[in-house]
Amino acid sequence: MSTATNASSARVNAEELQNLRLYQREVGQQTFPVANLVFLQSETNYTWLYWQDGKRMLMPRTLKFYEPKLPKQHFFRLHRNCVVNAHYVVAVEREHGGIFVLLTTGERLAISRRRWTAVKQFIHQYKQTRVN
């Protein structure tokens, strides 16, 4: 494989991390900036995508399909049915009913007990990299 081909494939991979290509029946295929994606929530074989502007989209794919397409340094799993963009996390609340993440959009999402330690580490590391 030539270096030109390697360079173009690296560029495509970088573009894929910045944009998410989605097909909607009404308008066809479109690209959306991943930075504007607040969180994804699964519902059986469908996934709800929640955007910064308050819109949400129901897509006929599983959460497992979308997770590899998201940059790992920004997105993490809270629960078996929820992936969140760390950029939109405001705080973590611990209450009698469990542990929750508060988002800039006002949503409160539950964190599974099993993932709590990993989520706490991820948020701490994410905040450290943003400060530096």
Q: Cα separation of 131 and 4, whole Å?
A: 36
The per-residue pLDDT for 11 is: 37
Of the ranges 4-8, 17-21, 124-128, which one carries the lowest mean pLDDT score?
4-8
The per-residue pLDDT for 132 is: 66
Q: Please, are residues 87 and 96 in contact by the beta-carbon 8 Å criterion? A: no
Task: Give every CB contact of residue 19 below 8 A, 6+ residues apart in sequence.
Answer: 31, 32, 33, 34
pLDDT digits (tens, 9 = 90+) for 55-102: 999 999 999 999 999 999 999 999 999 999 999 999 999 888 899 999
> Backbone phi, then psi, for 28, in 5-degree steps?
90, -160
The b-or-e profile of 68-79 (16+ CB within 10 A means b, else e) is: eebeeebbbbbb
Of the chain, the percentage scoring pLDDT greater than 70 comes to 86
